[in-house]
Amino acid sequence: MERLTRVAGPVATNVHLLADARTREAIAIDTAIPSLDWIAGELRDRAWALKLIVTTHGHWDHFGDNAAVAEHTGAPIAVHPLDAHRLTDPEPLWAPFEIPPCVPAVELAEAGEIRFGEIRLAVFHTPGHTEGSVCLWSADEGLLFSGDTLFAGAWGRTDLPGGSEVQMVESLARLATFPDTTRVMPGHGPETTIGAERLWLEAVARERRLPI
């Protein structure tokens, strides 16, 4: 897997481009505003063809450039069905600019799989930050794209639309079952590993509550 990451937008969203080295097929994860120019440039310079635009959850800072990237590349947009309405009818949530609506064409569902070239990403439904939050797991690479479910030393807010502390506890407990060596690529902030987060993740799983 070839992987590029860029921090974009007013709340520093991690935008990911992944590609298969042989077929040059690529996907984009969480296309925040502004990421179109960067994505278009990397696709052009590396002769990559974008096959899918993946949205880990339906908050504006993770899909603001979906419509523009889709128009430029022709790639369809994927999101969990429980968050699809957030893309078609965006909620501003203090956004400093207008968020263009977009229409998802691909459903991300629990136990589903994203395929491009020889790369496989398993879809894990991890609600808590929103009803339709997902994480993407590459077993071959040992990479987990966690959206806003898990950060380095923290977890996604549960007090925004679609949030649930109960569901977040269940999702974090599930992530605690991943191997220590799993590299976590969150929606914001630096990467981490499950091993680095294990102590508090296991406390969440054991006590069935979020840390105070």
pLDDT of residue 75: 98
Helix, strand, coil shares of the chain, percent, nearest 5, are 25, 30, 45
> Is 49 inside a domain boundary?
yes
Do 133 and 109 form a contact (C-beta atoms < 8 A)?
no
Quick check: 141 pLDDT over 90? yes
Average pLDDT over residues 130-146: 98
Average pLDDT over residues 60-86: 98
Q: Which structural domain range is residue 8 located in?
A: 2-207
pLDDT of residue 93: 87
Average pLDDT over residues 51-57: 98
> Is 212 inside a domain boundary?
no
Q: pLDDT tier at 63 (50, 70, 90 boundaries)?
A: very high
Quick check: 178 pLDDT over 90? yes
Quick check: 142 pLDDT over 90? yes
pLDDT of residue 138: 98
Do 81 and 110 form a contact (C-beta atoms < 8 A)?
no
From CA 104, how far away is CA 182, in angstroms rounded? Answer: 29
What CATH number is attached to the domain comprising 148? 3.60.15.10
Beta-bridge mates of residue 5: 16
Contacts of residue 42, Cβ cutoff 8 Å, sequence gap at least 6: 4, 17, 48
pLDDT of residue 92: 84
Phi, psi of 54 (to 5 degrees): -105, 130
Quick check: 166 pLDDT over 90? yes
User: What number of other Cβ atoms are within 10 A of residue 63's Cβ?
Assistant: 31
> Is 136 inside a domain boundary?
yes
Do 107 and 75 form a contact (C-beta atoms < 8 A)?
no
pLDDT of residue 97: 96
Domain count, the chain: 1
Phi, psi of 72 (to 5 degrees): -70, -35
Query: pLDDT digits over 84-127, tens only?
Result: 999 999 998 899 999 999 999 999 999 999 999 999 999 999 99
> Is 143 inside a domain boundary?
yes
From CA 138, how far away is CA 152, in angstroms rounded? Answer: 19
Query: pLDDT digits over 143-160, tens only?
Result: 999 999 999 999 999 999
Quick check: 7 pLDDT over 90? yes
> Is 122 inside a domain boundary?
yes
**Percentage of the residues of the chain whose pLDDT score is greater than 70:** 100
Name which of 103, 100, 186 is nearest 146 in CA terms.
186
Average pLDDT, the chain: 97
pLDDT of residue 39: 98
> Is 95 inside a domain boundary?
yes
- CA distances 114 to 25, 90, 134, Å, are 12, 25, 12
Quick check: 212 pLDDT over 90? no
Query: pLDDT digits over 26-41, tens only?
Result: 999 999 999 999 999 9
- CA distances 81 to 33, 61, 128, 184, Å, are 22, 18, 15, 24
> Is 69 inside a domain boundary?
yes
> Is 32 inside a domain boundary?
yes
